[in-house]
Amino acid sequence: MPDKKEYEYAIIRVMPRVERGECLNVGVILFCRSKKYLGMRYHLPEDRLRALWPELDIPEINDYLQAWDRVCAGQSDAGPIAQLERPERFRWLTAAKSTVLQCSAVHPGLTLDPARELDELFREYVL
């Protein structure tokens, strides 16, 4: 039986009013060093976001998430952070921020398939 590999993940949250601590999970970032995997999935539930924070600029949040996704994928046109190695990109994306988009603490796990694990975490924590 194949060995499970260690991975790390964080939940991406929209937190429009940082001082209140209210948030909504909108995505997951997963990094597995041994499989050379870094992936991200997100979904903006516009109705829920508008119900909680009517003033939120959802297109702007979507633009930021697209930028994070491009950095995560290491796209050449996504700036200097995107050119870093996977571990550094993961650490940059999951670093503590005082902005509308934030990540949870980083959590560990074991998996045979990081992409499948990302899908499962996304279903569990976001959808």
Dump pLDDT digits (tens) for 52-111.
899 999 999 999 999 999 999 999 999 999 999 999 999 999 998 878 999 999 999 999
Give strand pairing partners of 5: 111
pLDDT at 22 over 90: no
User: Residues 104, 26: contact at Cβ < 8 Å?
Assistant: no
- Residue that wins the pLDDT comparison between 19 and 74: 74
Q: What is the pLDDT of residue 17?
A: 83
Q: What is the pLDDT of residue 1?
A: 67
> How far is the C-alpha of 9 from the C-alpha of 121, rounded, in Å?
9
Block residue for tokens 């796990």: 109
User: Mean pLDDT over all residues of the chain?
Assistant: 95
User: Residues 6, 116: contact at Cβ < 8 Å?
Assistant: no
Give strand pairing partners of 101: 14
Percent of the chain residues past pLDDT 90, beyond the cut: 89
The pair of structure tokens assigned to 115 is 């992409």
- Residue that wins the pLDDT comparison between 99 and 28: 28
Q: For residues 24-35, give the mean pLDDT.
A: 98
pLDDT at 45 over 80: yes
97: number of CA atoms within 13 Å, CB side?
A: 17
The count of other CB atoms within 10 Å of the CB of residue 92 is: 14
66: number of CA atoms within 13 Å, CB side?
A: 7
